[in-house]
Homo-oligomer: A and B are copies of this chain.
Amino acid sequence: MATAISTTYSNVESERANVIRFGVVGYGYWGPNIVRNLSALPGASVASLCDKSLHALRRASQAYPGLKLSSNPSDLIASPLVDAVAIVTPVWTHYELAKDALEHGKHVFVEKPFTSTVKQAEELIELADKYNLKIMVDHTFVFTGAVRKIRELVDEGMLGSLYYYDSTRVNLGLFQHDINVIWDLAPHDLSIMDFVIKARPEAISATGQRHLNGHEDVAFITVYFPERLIAHLNVNWLSPVKVRTTLIGAEKKMLVWNDLDTEQKLKVYDKGVEIRTKEDMYGLMVTYRSGDIWAPRVEEVEALTIELQSFLECITHNKPIINDGVAGLQIVRMLEAASASLAKKGEIVYL
């Protein structure tokens, strides 16, 4: 019995000959998910974990007894036993850590939002290009079954041209100390929109209010696209209910994505409105169409697993990354514009 299992183990080891060895910086809310996934993925290993908090390191050590721990990211980043650095820390630290990692020749997996400024993002992209390294920004949702399916339906033309994208992402907490609710929650929606919508956003208007800790905890963002497509995001840390719902209005079919619905995450409505010119007093006649509803089955694999697998594959085979630095930059550009508009109480900011 014991022999059989040992054998299996040594096989596994030999398969791991060309694994990517990760140094993980940050073991707070999201870090444990990164470590858990990297530990389980065949082509990856966690070589080292770093966090400033003793408490965090202790939690990690209980869950992964053999794991090498440190409280100094520089050592980890400089270590020759590390091929790639996963940065799972607050956004204001991303730029320094990622720069350091790239300059030490490490690939970078970094939490969203990519950086605090457009300038930082551009610099990191340049660095990665220079050293021929990969950057992946953790836009996890882009790897969910639901978002993949939406993209597929849009690409196939099933929905026809898009009219609007209207997302609500509200719940109670978690209040961030260093960023407002836009920088915390909107990157999810902006990266999903960036993935699903082909057209490039043209301008942004944002409004909001701060109530408790000096950062906006309630905010509303309008994004203007070409051809009358409009997007709207409602993000809120102060909601008594958790809502994760996106409506996509379109010409041929309409779609509702409720990420909290375990049975029907996506619903495609055979509903629509048509306007015909008519010789009557109004000149226009509106007709409504209301047909079946279809809830396509959505893959339920953990998105982060797929995402990290994709990162490994893109490194190993030098493939382009969907959610690369450029995608990350695009989101930071929109966040910067939203901040600028927010400061002027909704005045439009062109991208």
A interface list, Cβ under 8 A from B: 1-2, 4-5, 8-9, 54, 57-58, 61, 65-66, 69-71, 163-164, 166, 168, 170, 172-173, 175, 177, 203, 205, 207-213, 217-218, 220, 222, 224, 228-230, 232, 234, 236-241, 247, 249, 254-256, 263-264, 267, 269-271, 273, 275, 282, 284, 286, 288, 290-297, 341, 344-348
Closest to A212 in B: B275
Closest to A229 in B: B209
Task: Among A175, A282, A293, A346, find the residue whose CB has the most chain B CB atoms closer than 10 A.
Answer: A346
> B213–A286 contact, CB under 8 A?
yes
Binding site secondary structure of chain A: strand
- Given A232-B220, A238-B163, A293-B264; A271-B172 close (CB under 8 Å): yes
* The residue from B54, B71, B164 contacting A218, defined by CB atoms under 8 A apart: B164
> B295–A293 contact, CB under 8 A?
yes
Question: Which residues of chain B are near A271, meaning CB under 8 Å?
Answer: 172, 240
> B232–A255 contact, CB under 8 A?
no
Copies in the complex: 4
A342 CB to closest chain B CB (Å) equals 11
Selected A-B contacts with CB under 8 Å, 27 pairs: A1-B54, A1-B70, A65-B65, A164-B211, A166-B236, A172-B273, A172-B288, A173-B286, A205-B205, A207-B222, A207-B346, A209-B228, A212-B275, A212-B286, A213-B284, A232-B234, A238-B254, A239-B247, A239-B249, A241-B256, A241-B269, A291-B297, A292-B297, A341-B346, A345-B348, A346-B347, A346-B348
A128 CB to closest chain B CB (Å) equals 31
**CA of A335 to CA of B296 in the docked complex: distance in angstroms?**
40
Question: Which residues of chain B are near A8, meaning CB under 8 Å?
Answer: 58
> B297–A294 contact, CB under 8 A?
no
Question: Which residues of chain B are near A228, meaning CB under 8 Å?
Answer: 209-211
> A273–B57 contact, CB under 8 A?
no
Closest to A254 in B: B240
> B69–A2 contact, CB under 8 A?
yes
Closest to A232 in B: B220
* The residue from B54, B163, B203, B347 contacting A211, defined by CB atoms under 8 A apart: B163
> A240–B236 contact, CB under 8 A?
no
